Amino acid sequence: MKIIVDAMGGDNSIEATVNGSIEAVRESDLEIVLIGKKDLIEKELNKSNYDGDRIEVIHTEEVITNNDSPTLAIRRKKDSSMVVGFNKLNEGYGEAFISTGNTGSLLAGGLFLIKRIKGIDRAAISSLYPTRNGMTLLLDMGANVDCKPEYLKQFAIMGSTYSEKVLGISSPTVGLVNVGTEKEKGNMLVKESYELLSNSDINFYGNIEARDIPEGIVDVMVCDGFVGNVILKLTEGIANLFFSTLKEEFTKKASSKFAALMLKPQLKSFKERFDYREYGGAPLLGIKKPVIKAHGSSDAFAIKNAIKQAKIFTEKKVIDKIEENINKY
Amino acid sequence: MKIIVDAMGGDNSIEATVNGSIEAVRESDLEIVLIGKKDLIEKELNKSNYDGDRIEVIHTEEVITNNDSPTLAIRRKKDSSMVVGFNKLNEGYGEAFISTGNTGSLLAGGLFLIKRIKGIDRAAISSLYPTRNGMTLLLDMGANVDCKPEYLKQFAIMGSTYSEKVLGISSPTVGLVNVGTEKEKGNMLVKESYELLSNSDINFYGNIEARDIPEGIVDVMVCDGFVGNVILKLTEGIANLFFSTLKEEFTKKASSKFAALMLKPQLKSFKERFDYREYGGAPLLGIKKPVIKAHGSSDAFAIKNAIKQAKIFTEKKVIDKIEENINKY
């Protein structure tokens, strides 16, 4: 199986994508197509002494940055690593595509160049949210800031299909993010979505309050992209604040510094529990091919995991299954 | 000045409200009117050896619980501590009202029994959100799950007036919670609200991403009540998860237990930074009298702080100022 990787997207993209690809081919029988500035990619491959033949490099001149207008960039930057990656995916040169780049462009590219699955009104970006019990798939995390109830039902179908096939959860529960657990709670969107979800074949858990999100009481959570984006970014912000404040408190005095040093393994293990890198990337759901958005600050480890995730995404024929379920549920 | 306190609302309400009231009268010249089951309140007063004359008790038989339907309870439970509290407030028996009870009922009581300020379409519940830099006033935190742009503008005016008068911040900045910082980002509600806020006399900071909420980069944050509720409850949920996971990691082994014990003061100071109890309660803004919702699990310390907050709320004539600003901005 061949996975296409955009080498030009993220903060430390080339180093991370090249090394993540090397680790992935070493640990599996995958082939990787790296797309981006050939000289920079090859420099990195040489630095890591890679001399195998399962990593191919395709040269592109242009780069889509986070400052680009998402849709315009996809239309105009025809020789960007992202657009070429999508085209290669579309023509079947590889099975799946991974990029750390501009999320809006990746979504636009998925919609314009790969197209939506029949029966799906909106593609969603989903994310694996780390909880006390492992992880919950959250969607939409920002692609659709204004939603209709039908979209949320479709997110639920796509999310539970992905959760079952890629994460291996049988009959995953789906929760609807709401301001209370009672059936009659919520805004207009959520109340109508509740009805739709209740009357479907989805394993609908009911409403889930934000307080319970970190507890991981459901396998999949659905909400509109505005709320999903707030959930994801707020979690990131709180984690940043907590870790830096903790560090500040622990290094105030020499004695506390010493005690904190003794606790280093525990602090590390604590941090790792909430490490997004473990969980690969955010699958774009609703389009006709497997596309994964990897975090902008992904390192090699995160990229390797995203590649492995793309492999399962492809192998398990998630997209065929979504198309099947969308008409059935 | 006389403050009315509902003694029957929260989890450990009578004990907390009685002892919080005792502490408040000891530290100020306030008078307190405690409303609820007289025998239970007096038992608690005796237990604490209170023998002053600045705490009055008004007996009521009924209690509004969290299982009551908010509006029905306000209409039907005429002899409940909450309804009697509102009536006493309305007739000027006291200057402000504090309750730890059912938030929905408190809002319904504020709207039906106290009424909205002229020019305000919706009352909001605001909350002090602890950040790296102190605290940010967040509204609405759940009263209005479906909003129009004008409501968000009114929240901004109410919030900045409260922030200036009660929290002592001169010309407070107001941020609009959004999925990105750029002007053109957001859902329909937020985009239109951005226009309204930009063209007002409010000290409008612009959009604020959820990632930056814990950093405290603005003094006031506005959003619809659905998003506000998610922000508040998610923060609570993440804090719970972090503290319990940290404890778990630190008590895994005898050696780490010992080191953690050495760090106890630092861990305590860390926890205190995010302690809602310091900040009193959540003011109901938009109605004609000062009403504060104290947290359901408030202890005496939190109640004392809510009483002090009610004092400033009253002294600074926040409600007159809101009425003035709503026509001006």
For residues B7 and B96, membership in a common domain is answered with: yes
Mean pLDDT to the nearest integer, A306-323:
96
For residues A224 and A85, membership in a common domain is answered with: no
The tally of domains found in chain A comes to: 2
Please spell the DSSP secondary structure of A214-240, one letter per residue: GGT-SSEEE--HHHHHHHHHHHHHHHH
Cα distances (Å, whole numbers) of residue A84 to A18, A25, B98, B271:
18, 22, 62, 50
- Domain range holding A163? 130-278
| CATH number for the domain that contains residue A113 | 3.40.718.10
Top pLDDT among A140 and A276 is at A140
Cβ-defined contact of A266 to B255 (cutoff 8 Å):
no
Cβ-defined contact of B245 to A188 (cutoff 8 Å):
no
- Which of B187, B230, B266 is opposite residue A146, by nearest beta carbon? B187
Residues of B in contact with A252 (CB under 8 A): 266
For residues A274 and A290, membership in a common domain is answered with: no
Cβ-defined contact of A245 to B214 (cutoff 8 Å):
no
Residues of B in contact with A144 (CB under 8 A): none
Please tell me the predicted confidence (pLDDT) of residue A268. 78
pLDDT (tens digit per residue) in A34-61 = 999 999 999 999 999 998 999 999 999 9
Cα angle at B72 between B229 and B82, to 5 degrees? 75
Mean pLDDT to the nearest integer, A155-165:
97
Mean pLDDT to the nearest integer, B121-133:
92
pLDDT (tens digit per residue) in A198-241 = 999 999 999 999 999 999 999 999 999 999 999 999 999 998 88
pLDDT (tens digit per residue) in A73-129 = 999 999 999 999 999 999 999 999 999 998 899 999 999 999 999 999 999 999 999
Question: Is residue A53 in some structural domain?
Answer: yes
pLDDT (tens digit per residue) in B190-211 = 999 999 999 999 999 999 999 9
Residues of B in contact with A260 (CB under 8 A): 259, 263
Cβ-defined contact of B211 to A236 (cutoff 8 Å):
yes
* Beta carbons of B5 and B35 less than 8 angstroms apart: yes
Residue A274 clears pLDDT 70, i.e. is over it: no
Residue A310 clears pLDDT 70, i.e. is over it: yes
For residues A155 and A238, membership in a common domain is answered with: yes
Residues of A in contact with B233 (CB under 8 A): 179, 209-211
Please tell me the predicted confidence (pLDDT) of residue B259. 74
For residues B70 and B31, membership in a common domain is answered with: yes
With bands split at pLDDT 50, 70 and 90, how would you rate the model's confidence at B33? very high
With bands split at pLDDT 50, 70 and 90, how would you rate the model's confidence at B276? low
Six-digit token pair at B54? 């600045």
Please tell me the predicted confidence (pLDDT) of residue A11. 63
**Gap from A14 CA to chain B (nearest CA, Å):** 26
Cβ-defined contact of A232 to B239 (cutoff 8 Å):
no
Helix (H) or strand (E) holding B269: helix B264-273
Residue B137 clears pLDDT 70, i.e. is over it: yes
For residues B108 and B39, membership in a common domain is answered with: yes
For residues A62 and A18, membership in a common domain is answered with: yes
Please tell me the predicted confidence (pLDDT) of residue A28. 95
Interface test with B, best of A230, A242, A245, A253 (most B CBs within 10 A): A230
**Gap from B235 CA to chain A (nearest CA, Å):** 7
Interface test with B, best of A141, A191, A215, A242 (most B CBs within 10 A): A242
Chain B: residue nearest A258 by CA?
A: B259
**Three-state secondary structure readout of B38-79:** HHHHHHHHHHCCCCCCCEEEEECCECCCCCCCHHHHHHHCCC
CA atoms of A209 and B237, how far apart (whole Å): 9
Chain A: residue nearest B230 by CA?
A: A210
Helix (H) or strand (E) holding A177: strand A174-178
For residues B36 and B99, membership in a common domain is answered with: yes
Mean pLDDT to the nearest integer, B62-86:
94
Residues of B in contact with A258 (CB under 8 A): 262
Mean pLDDT to the nearest integer, A245-257:
80
The type of residue at A304 is: K
Mean pLDDT to the nearest integer, A141-149:
95
For residues B145 and B216, membership in a common domain is answered with: yes
Cβ-defined contact of A266 to B250 (cutoff 8 Å):
yes
For residues B270 and B250, membership in a common domain is answered with: yes
Please tell me the predicted confidence (pLDDT) of residue A10. 65
Cα angle at A147 between A275 and A238, to 5 degrees? 25
CA atoms of A3 and A8, how far apart (whole Å): 15
Residue B11 clears pLDDT 70, i.e. is over it: no
Question: Is residue A42 in some structural domain?
Answer: yes
Question: Is residue A97 in some structural domain?
Answer: yes
Which among A244, A260, A278 is the end of a domain? A278
Q: If you count residue pairs, one on A and one on B, with CB atoms under 8 Å apart, how many are there?
A: 146
Q: Which residues contact A109 (CB under 8 A, 6 or more apart)?
A: A74, A82, A83, A86
For residues B201 and B321, membership in a common domain is answered with: no
The SS3 assignment for A260 reads helix
Cβ-defined contact of B252 to A262 (cutoff 8 Å):
no
Question: Is residue A125 in some structural domain?
Answer: no
The SS3 assignment for A207 reads strand
Burial pattern B41-66, b for ≥16 Cβ within 10 A else e, equals beebbeeeebeeebbebbebebbbee
For residues A47 and A105, membership in a common domain is answered with: yes
